[in-house]
Structure 1
């Protein structure tokens, strides 16, 4: 039999985890293959990168359900069903797919990060089923672009989860890496971690010139996804900037900012840039920090000049 598309594996994956025990993906694949009658021959089918099609599709089923909160990863490479996942399996024992996952805000946010603004508007104007149908009949170039965006959004979310599992010092070093990769500091400048006693709440500084006359201070907060950074946190950061006689800073968190915090940062005299967890993860993927290129595809087109008789 041909290996089914990834959504077909969602319910079997949840059934493989329904006893509540944490399991690696390899063990889940064995249970799913046995339930669905996937033969050894089927499992030998490979995609271009050399990964088995079956492994890849089960992996995507797991990834999507992690994004929707049906599965959690208590530690690296280990998966465990959540209470939400158990409830979804009870409500949809025959099939779980993206339409089911769309009811959860976390999954909608994940999908929105994989769309362009125009795509998001188009999807909002039609039912989920119609939006999926429209995407499935898109031109090849559009389909490839959408697939890349979705893949990178999944990688970004996974990276963010892993950062939250590390200690605060890891994040303090990481944010300086990504800001340097973005071009801050330049060839003649430097980046220095300050995360120690007496740093007045400032975790790092980027010197834009050799003498350090032009400086950008950084604060990094490793918070859980449900934690919101509010206005008092930003006020404290602005106070630390004033204490350092600085007028520019970047506040980065692995969670999100309240609207009050965003409004305050816009109005304060010091130039303060706020980067939330989703944006941080996107920047890490873009600059290949904690991520790496996996495959390269070349899309051909007709060379019109070659056939131009004039």
Structure 2
């Protein structure tokens, strides 16, 4: 008796329209796990298909592809994640659905799948995604396997950075302060983790952490870690500079989940000893140093020419 054939799971672009229609029917948004199942239902995936794992074994394939489909809707400005694990159409997304009541054409799906890959996910795009009549067909350039691999890894990195920013917005201030110190230690600051002390709380005088760079604690770096939604302005950086002066400190790092105004950046550049780290750079450093992030080794085979030399 022959084994049952392994069912084929549609590529991620096929998940885009089912997700779009689901989110349109639920203006208040839906949990991501519910969206995964609804998209799988719409595509007719049976129980066997839903049990298939990625080759890495890290995730179910259909959930992975639904996640990438939602990533594309976010990059097109049509959807967003207002909180962790929650998907919801933006105003642009609602307009897009209202203007495209019928099934999307292959060209429209291709536009959503491929035309916004390089769009940063810090905020939704204000304009609607391209219309079928005014957008050119997406043409993928011919690239070597190594080039395609590099592009894929970069795309995965951007998606992880965006997910980290969403996640950081949900953690408590105390956890965020500890996370920042964990990251700085992983980056090589302090001989051991005990050299990085969290002091945030009421009466912290604008200092959330202290790093001893040497065993005796003669040289220190002072840290302020703020999990903010709004942009950090010059007054906050000036206050941090004043807190450093109060400690007679020469080095300080201000880290936030958001960004900085031009005036804040200018002030930091006008004084010595202050480094500003915004949310995108923070998430990138977390990826590089694997803080809150796991990574797997990818083995790329290549013939060892030296081995065959006689």
Q: C-alpha offsets along residues 230-289 of structure 1, whole Å, 9 cap, x if unaligned?
A: 222211111111111011110101101122222221121x31111000011111122221
Identify which of 69, 74, 81 aligns with 1:73.
Answer: 81
> Contact between 2:198 and 2:208, CA under 8 Å: does it hold in 1?
yes
Q: Which runs of 5+ in 2 are unaligned?
A: 1-6, 123-134
Using the size of structure 2 for normalisation, the TM-score is 0.81
Alignment of 1:80-91 (within 5 A): 80-91=88-99
CA shift at 1:159, angstroms? 1.6
CA 1:66–1:274 in structure 2 vs 1: closer, same or farther (change >3 Å)? same
Deviations 1:156-200 (A, max 9, x none): 211221111122222111111111110011249701111123321
Give the match for residue 41 of structure 2: 34
The aligned counterpart of 1:245 is 248
Q: Distance in 1 between matches of 2:219 and 2:109?
A: 52
Structure 1 counterpart of 2:203, from 198, 201, 209? 198
1:24 counterpart = 2:31 = yes
The TM-score normalised by the length of structure 1 is 0.81
The aligned counterpart of 1:125 is none
Q: What per-residue deviation string (whole Å, max 9, x for no partner) do you get for residues 25-49 of structure 1? A: 3432333233334455544554312
1:267 to 267, 270, 293: 270
Where do 5+ consecutive residues of structure 1 fail to align? 112-127
Give 1 or 2: higher helix fraction.
1
Determine the structure 2 residue equivalent to 1:108. 119
Q: 2:232 aligns with which of 229, 234, 240?
A: 229
- Equivalent residues of 1:168, 1:222 under 8 A apart: yes
**Offset at residue 8 of structure 1 (A):** 2.7
- Which deviates further from its counterpart, 80-89 or 212-221? 80-89
1:292 aligns to what? 294
- Displacement of 1:301 after TM fit? 0.9
Q: How does 1:122-133 map to 2 (within 5 A)?
A: 133=140
Residue 36 to residue 130, structure 1, CA distance change in 2 (3 Å): closer
Q: 2:10, 2:294 → 1: CA distance?
A: 28
Equivalent-residue separation in structure 2 for 1:264 and 1:98 (angstroms):
45
Instruction: Say whether the 8 Å CA contact 1:11–1:89 is kept in structure 2.
Output: no
